[in-house]
Structure 1
Amino acid sequence: MMLDRETCLAAVASRDARFDGSFYTGVTSTGIYCRPSCPARTPAHHHMTFHPSAAAAQAAGFRACKRCRPDAVPGSPDWDVRADTTARAMRLIGDGVVDREGVDGLASRLGYSVRQVQRLTLDELGASPLALARTQRAHTARILLQTTDLPLPEVAFAAGFGSIRSFNDTVRAAYASTPSTLRAQRRSPHATARPDRLLEVSLRLAFRRPFDPSNVFGHLAATAVPSVEEWRDGAYRRTLRLPHGPGFASLAPRDDHVAATLHLADPRDLTPAIGRCRRLLDLDADPVAVDAALASDPALAPLVEAAPGRRVPRTVDGEEFALRAVLGQQVSTAAARTHAARLVQAYGVPVTDPVGGLTHLFPTAEALTNPARDALAGPDSRFATLVGLARALDSGVVDLSPGADRDAARTALASLRGIGPWTVEIVAMRSLGDPDAFPARDLGVVKGAERLGITDLDAHATRWRPRRAYATQHLWAALDHPINHLPQEDS
């Protein structure tokens, strides 16, 4: 929801980076739009207009500021927190669904008519789904122009444009520069992708401060499935199953950004790859709001003060994590990794890592609908649960995509044999991105609460709503476990 004018004016006057991505400032005297924290001289109040999205600012005739790069800000935290149709639509647009399936495909996934979806985004964001996707394409094009040597027509195609003319017109309108001019601004040359070589793209992933990388990167490294994930040279690396082919992501925490290096089989997958990496690390969160809410509880306040900006480790693939959650039922982290590694070797798709030791994509749900019994050690009940979940995912009975209805997904999961409250809540937290998911019976959560002197956890946790997933990170961090620390050396 768009903020009132006085709040926007105050945010711009104080250059408050917390609002970057929540609204955009159009300056009528210059014709540019900026992020609230833009370091340029603050314009007079009567020269400022405010817009709920970059697409809305561009539709109003403004071009992106070359100094503050408003197209590179974190996304609005609303789209992660909220579970309504508009939020679901924004998550799908961010995953590139409009580029691949059009607005008709977006509406179909949401179960609404095209007209209804257009009305929803126009009312809240001041732009249609197509305009929102077009702004995203311009941002993708700028990254490709400034980080690769792809020929301009290939950049246009990879960014999702249907013609060279629309590519040129959109880039010019967004940045007041031609594609050739943007290409000339790149800082260093990069090799062009060849048929036998993956395209390499290096970029910075922005976040709102504070950002504590210890638990999110520590969790990902400690639970990494061999062949699919690894910690190498100070970065978490993993394979990606993308719409047009496999990819690899390398993510390393820095003081003011996350350094990302992507290797893609198809440049059209740049937009979904970036979106999935951002979602994995919870980079669009509003840590100040989260920390303020949790710190109001005296039991959590010392932990929040000691480690502000904790994020919730999520996933790049909702189905993959759900399957892994079943493998982790009532076993140690090490055992869950071992079970997952066996499935990967038996049913994962082999890939060739250009720089590391990754060898497979995690198996799809379809590949696990009828696996051999000896592919999974452990009781028959866990094997049956895994197969039942795989079949439910493959058939669409359970939807864990970025645009999934969270309530419907919870209900569908809970109806499956062997899926209890712990699994539902862990999947809701990691696959669905529900900020209020809470695995109350998780052993680490229970022990962490005991460490803090919390006796009635269910009653006490109500004061953490609707951010119980973040409270969970602090409860886990109350214990000494590898998930709470950055690895000290390569594994």
Structure 2
Amino acid sequence: MHTDTERCVRAVRSKDARFDGWFFTAVLTTGVYCRPSCPVVPPKAGNMTFYPSAAACQLAGFRACKRCRPDTSPGSPRWNARADSVARAMRLIQDGIVDREGVTGLATRLGYSARQIERQLLAELGAGPLALARSQRAQTARVLIETTALPMADIAFAAGFSSVRTFNETVRAVFALAPGELRARAARGTEGPDTPGVITLRLPYRAPLNPTNLFGHLAATAVPGVEEWREGAYRRTLALPHGHGIVALSPRPGHIACRLSLTDPRDLTQAISRCRRLLDLDADPVAVDEQLRADPLLAPLVDAGPGRRVPRTVDAAEFAVRAVLGQQVSTAAARTHAARLVTAHGVPVEDPEGGLTHLFPTPAALAGLDPETLALPRARRTTLTTLAGALADGSLELGEGTDWDEARSRLHALPGFGPWTVEAIAMRSLGDPDAFLPTDLGIRRAARTLGLPATPAALTARAAHWRPWRAYAVQYLWTVDDHPINHLPA
């Protein structure tokens, strides 16, 4: 979009927040870059130039605006709606893969050479993987500076910088303020260090956001010990690269309130990325709803509660296991089966603020269990242990950089994986916005109620008009039933 100058200028002049994260405005006269909705008086059109990413702005020598804080914009919805190499690379970079494994590790996961990935990212985003990772490190550093009392040296290494000097130089270059000045500004405002060891921040999104199905679904399907709804917040444990964490997420006007407790602050970038992915916060709800509203049978559902998101997951392997446990049983039964696995094979954690007790078991832990100990039908035991083994040995990958079609193919090849299970995993583990569940009982009931085709094949044909947003259509169709997933807990 950044190449459409006229459209970008109109968005900036109207301060249209829907385009935040789609492109960034660099002001030639001030050397500052902003989000389209920046509250300052827009500069003359001739003084504006546009970039596809914050990293490209920084690479060109522009500093982040201190008013609109463009580095905290919602992420571009392009990366969640696409499955090509650039989109997969961006999802992996957002999850911190470059900091952990370098550009070579990123390229290996994608099956390309490092040079090919560099060339593709430069062509589309104006910045290579190192620049994109640097921009993300700067934002992580800013969050730690403003919301914790950690010493600056600790923040530098937690954010992924190789030295304190590089940390200081990057913060000055990106924000035009020294780290100490950033902390002082935060202390004068409403943000600042909270409970020791707890990081409090806001997760932005594009309006509208309907929290009822999003948090209602997560609360209704919560696995005891791993997830809970407490005092208006969805809370859960997180397994992270350097340790574990506990997060509390609460819907607020204009943002999601996020409280993170981490055993290692180096995991902040990954924790934020996974929480945003869980809540589908980088979606473009206006584009989604506009497409679905064009169907006269869906339009009333969209108008009744616009901005529905797809509840996803913080751990793709975890959800795949839970999808198998949920085959042909009620939500309550699936939770019971999962809770037994957690108690027997999950890693215990301490939760001073609530009732969380464990991390969800890893594929390696589940691959070694005795199938006879599972209170499941024999066929489903085979399905579960085969899945765990494939995830543990790497023959099946379900992550941010996974090719969606390849993952579907590998899942279909496993015993006990039918269309419902594969598409549920595609929707929530892989994040495919076009995943569809025509055989789901709730979808079939909704189809009959609305006058949509009743058979899976006919419904799939009709749903072609909803592409590429069929996963969002699923969320709206589920609202036809009065199910707990459609309501925030009391």
TM-score normalised according to structure 2 size: 0.97
SS of the equivalent of 1:321 reads helix
Contact 1:53–1:125 (CA under 8 A) maintained in structure 2: yes
Alignment-derived partner of residue 166 in structure 1: 166
Contact 1:388–1:416 (CA under 8 A) maintained in structure 2: yes
Give the residue type in structure 2 aligned to 1:127: A
SS of the equivalent of 2:201 reads strand
2:193 to 179, 190, 195: 190
SS of the equivalent of 2:468 reads coil
What pairs with 1:85-484 in structure 2 (closer than 5 Å)?
A: 85-187=85-187, 190=193, 199-455=197-453, 456-484=458-486
Task: Please state how far the C-alpha of 1:460 moved relative to its aligned partner.
Answer: 1.4
Alignment-derived partner of residue 78 in structure 1: 78
Contact 2:59–2:127 (CA under 8 A) maintained in structure 1: yes
SS of the equivalent of 2:186 reads coil
Number of corresponding residues: 483
Task: Please state how far the C-alpha of 1:206 moved relative to its aligned partner.
Answer: 0.2
Task: Give me the whole-angstrom Cα distance separating, in 2, the residues matched to 1:292 and 1:192.
Answer: 42
Task: Please state how far the C-alpha of 1:377 moved relative to its aligned partner.
Answer: 1.2
Give the residue type in structure 1 aligned to 2:325: L
Q: Taking structure 1 as reference, are residues 191 and 12 closer, same or farther at Cα in structure 2, changes over 3 Å only?
A: closer
Task: Give me the whole-angstrom Cα distance separating, in 2, the residues matched to 1:374 and 1:448.
Answer: 38
Q: Taking structure 1 as reference, are residues 3 and 334 closer, same or farther at Cα in structure 2, changes over 3 Å only?
A: farther
Task: Give me the whole-angstrom Cα distance separating, in 2, the residues matched to 1:412 and 1:3.
Answer: 38
Contact 1:213–1:310 (CA under 8 A) maintained in structure 2: yes
Task: Give me the whole-angstrom Cα distance separating, in 2, the residues matched to 1:332 and 1:433.
Answer: 23
Contact 2:206–2:285 (CA under 8 A) maintained in structure 1: yes
SS of the equivalent of 1:361 reads coil
Task: Give me the whole-angstrom Cα distance separating, in 2, the residues matched to 1:248 and 1:344.
Answer: 16
What pairs with 1:62-73 in structure 2 (closer than 5 Å)?
A: 62-73=62-73
SS of the equivalent of 1:246 reads strand
Please list the CA deviations of residues 68-111 of structure 1 after superposition, one character each: whole Å capped at 9, or x if unmatched.
Answer: 01000100000000100000000000000011111111111111
Give the residue type in structure 2 aligned to 1:68: C
Give the residue type in structure 1 aligned to 2:68: C
Please list the CA deviations of residues 314-335 of structure 1 after superposition, one character each: whole Å capped at 9, or x if unmatched.
Answer: 0000000000000000000000
RMSD: 1.1
SS of the equivalent of 2:271 reads helix
Contact 1:2–1:124 (CA under 8 A) maintained in structure 2: no
Task: Give me the whole-angstrom Cα distance separating, in 2, the residues matched to 1:306 and 1:420.
Answer: 33
The answer to whether 1:20 aligns with 2:32 is no
Give the residue type in structure 2 aligned to 1:460: R
Contact 2:2–2:8 (CA under 8 A) maintained in structure 1: no
SS of the equivalent of 1:210 reads coil
Task: Please state how far the C-alpha of 1:462 moved relative to its aligned partner.
Answer: 1.0
Contact 1:150–1:192 (CA under 8 A) maintained in structure 2: no
Task: Please state how far the C-alpha of 1:192 moved relative to its aligned partner.
Answer: 8.4
SS of the equivalent of 2:396 reads coil
SS of the equivalent of 1:174 reads helix
Task: Give me the whole-angstrom Cα distance separating, in 2, the residues matched to 1:373 and 1:141.
Answer: 45
Please list the CA deviations of residues 446-469 of structure 1 after superposition, one character each: whole Å capped at 9, or x if unmatched.
Answer: 111111111241221111111100
Task: Please state how far the C-alpha of 1:7 moved relative to its aligned partner.
Answer: 1.2
Task: Give me the whole-angstrom Cα distance separating, in 1, the residues matched to 2:153 and 2:415.
Answer: 51
Contact 1:251–1:259 (CA under 8 A) maintained in structure 2: yes
Task: Give me the whole-angstrom Cα distance separating, in 2, the residues matched to 1:7 and 1:46.
Answer: 14
Contact 1:343–1:375 (CA under 8 A) maintained in structure 2: no
SS of the equivalent of 1:349 reads coil
What pairs with 1:51-62 in structure 2 (closer than 5 Å)?
A: 51-62=51-62
Alignment-derived partner of residue 196 in structure 1: none
Give the 4+ runs in structure 1 shifted more than 4 A: none
TM-score normalised according to structure 1 size: 0.97
Contact 2:55–2:131 (CA under 8 A) maintained in structure 1: yes
Task: Give me the whole-angstrom Cα distance separating, in 2, the residues matched to 1:120 and 1:189.
Answer: 39
Q: Taking structure 1 as reference, are residues 78 and 191 closer, same or farther at Cα in structure 2, changes over 3 Å only?
A: closer
Task: Give me the whole-angstrom Cα distance separating, in 1, the residues matched to 2:138 and 2:347.
Answer: 33
Give the residue type in structure 1 aligned to 2:245: G
Task: Give me the whole-angstrom Cα distance separating, in 2, the residues matched to 1:327 and 1:10.
Answer: 50
Unaligned runs of 5+ in 1: 194-198
Contact 2:371–2:385 (CA under 8 A) maintained in structure 1: no
Give the residue type in structure 2 aligned to 1:479: D
